């Protein structure tokens, strides 16, 4: 299908359609916060006879395209799983490449910052930052610092992160703040997570057809208000049109759910 979009006219039509659909979705209901488990970069590279690093590069481009659609549709916060603490067990070569990719992309954000300026996106780097090489940490934090006054939307980049490490960090934080064990509540743990202060997660998307959460946003994802969507496509195959379809479906389901709840409440009211 890729060849179709290589024609300038088709590309123009697709771009126009995308903008129109974003406008329609923006006027309805979209998730306030979406989490992305970006899985399948290496399989994509193998399938297309590319090097692993090219698969990750393609993965970054996909991420940028999808985030643009989300922010265009009015999503307020996105959290991406860029690097798991578990990923430190991969080959030295792959880790080095992923670190290089993160550093160079964050440098681009600092130098041109298009996406962040256009959509007013504040970048936040979440995770156990002391595990990162110093130069990578600095680049990431520079992008965070540069975008700190942007107010319209948030991009949380989890690097390096696992949910269990986050929950442990939250509890350590609470103890360090001198709380009595009796006063520790679920809300307090939530507030002290790296994602504390951003809207509640309402949609978690994973690619590559694997039914696992891979230690990502475990605390946030169990909320009754959060839907989980597992897609069979590999991450670099995830298109903006598929993203629009998922957002449409989410809004449709929510409206249906709200209507059913309203009817249920009304029928209970009649019984009383």
Interface positions with Mg ion (CB under 5 A): 39
Closer Cβ to ligand FPP, 21 or 198, answer by number:
198
Q: Which residues bind ligand FPP (CB under 6 A)?
A: 38-43, 56, 59-60, 63, 80, 82, 87, 101-102, 105, 157, 208
Residue 63, contacted partner among ligand FPP, Mg ion, none, CB below 5-8 A by kind = ligand FPP
Radius of gyration of the chain (CA): 20
Closer Cβ to ligand FPP, 21 or 38, answer by number:
38
Tell me the two tokens of residue 272: 């009383």
Residue 31, contacted partner among Mg ion, ligand FPP, none, CB below 5-8 A by kind = none
SS (HEC) of the chain: CCCHHHCHHHHHHHHHHHHHHHHHHHCCCCCCEEEEECCCHHHHHHHCCCCHHHHHHHHHHHHHHHHHHHHHCCCCEEEEECCEHHHHHCCHHHHHHHHHHHHHHHHHHHHCCHHHHHHCEEEEEECCHHHCCHHHHHHHHHHHHHCCCCCCEEEEEECCECHHHHHHHHHHHHHHCCCCHHHCCHHHHHHCCCCCCCCCCCEEEECCCCCCCCCCCHHHHCCCCCEEEECCCCHHHCCHHHHHHHHHHHHHHHHHHHHHHHHHHHHHHHHC
Closer Cβ to ligand FPP, 106 or 203, answer by number:
106
Closer Cβ to ligand FPP, 25 or 80, answer by number:
80
Residue 38, contacted partner among ligand FPP, Mg ion, none, CB below 5-8 A by kind = ligand FPP
Residue 68, contacted partner among ligand FPP, Mg ion, none, CB below 5-8 A by kind = none
Residue 151 beta carbon to ligand FPP: minimum distance, rounded to whole angstroms: 21
Residue 34 beta carbon to ligand FPP: minimum distance, rounded to whole angstroms: 15
Residue 39 beta carbon to Mg ion: minimum distance, rounded to whole angstroms: 4
Residue 177 beta carbon to ligand FPP: minimum distance, rounded to whole angstroms: 30
Closer Cβ to Mg ion, 84 or 192, answer by number:
84
Closer Cβ to ligand FPP, 94 or 191, answer by number:
94
Q: Within 13 Å, how many C-alpha atoms sit on residue 246's CB side?
A: 24
Residue 43, contacted partner among ligand FPP, Mg ion, none, CB below 5-8 A by kind = ligand FPP
Residue 60 beta carbon to ligand FPP: minimum distance, rounded to whole angstroms: 4
Residue 157, contacted partner among ligand FPP, Mg ion, none, CB below 5-8 A by kind = ligand FPP
Residue 86 beta carbon to Mg ion: minimum distance, rounded to whole angstroms: 10
With beta carbons less than 8 A apart as the criterion, state whether 42 and 208 touch: no
With beta carbons less than 8 A apart as the criterion, state whether 205 and 243 touch: no
Residue 21, contacted partner among ligand FPP, Mg ion, none, CB below 5-8 A by kind = none
């Amino acid at each position: 299908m890729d060849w179709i979009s290589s024609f300038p006219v088709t590309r123009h039509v697709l771009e126009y359609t995308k903008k129109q659909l974003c406008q329609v979705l923006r006027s309805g209901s979209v998730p306030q916060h979406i989490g992305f488990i970006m899985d399948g970069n290496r399989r994509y590279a193998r399938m297309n006879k590319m090097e692993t690093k090219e698969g990750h590069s393609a993965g970054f481009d996909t991420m940028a395209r999808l985030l643009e659609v989300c922010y265009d549709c009015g999503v307020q916060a996105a959290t991406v799983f860029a690097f798991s603490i578990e990923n430190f067990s991969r080959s030295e070569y792959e880790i080095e490449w992923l670190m290089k990719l993160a550093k160079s992309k964050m440098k681009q954000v600092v130098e041109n910052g298009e996406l962040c300026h256009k959509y007013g996106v504040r970048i936040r780097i979440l995770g156990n930052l002391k595990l990162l090489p110093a130069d990578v940490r600095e680049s990431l934090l520079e992008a965070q610092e540069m975008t700190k006054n942007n107010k319209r939307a948030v991009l949380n980049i989890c690097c390096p992160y696992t949910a269990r490490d986050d929950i442990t960090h939250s509890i350590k934080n609470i103890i360090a703040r001198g709380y009595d064990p009796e006063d520790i509540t679920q809300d307090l743990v939530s507030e002290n997570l790296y994602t504390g202060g951003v809207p509640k997660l309402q949609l978690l998307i994973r690619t590559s057809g694997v039914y696992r959460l891979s230690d990502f946003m475990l605390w946030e994802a169990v909320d009754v208000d959060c839907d989980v969507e597992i897609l069979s496509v590999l991450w670099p195959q995830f298109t903006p049109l598929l993203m629009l379809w998922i957002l449409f479906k989410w809004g449709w389901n929510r409206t249906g759910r709200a209507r059913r709840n309203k009817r249920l409440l009304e029928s209970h009211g009649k019984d009383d």
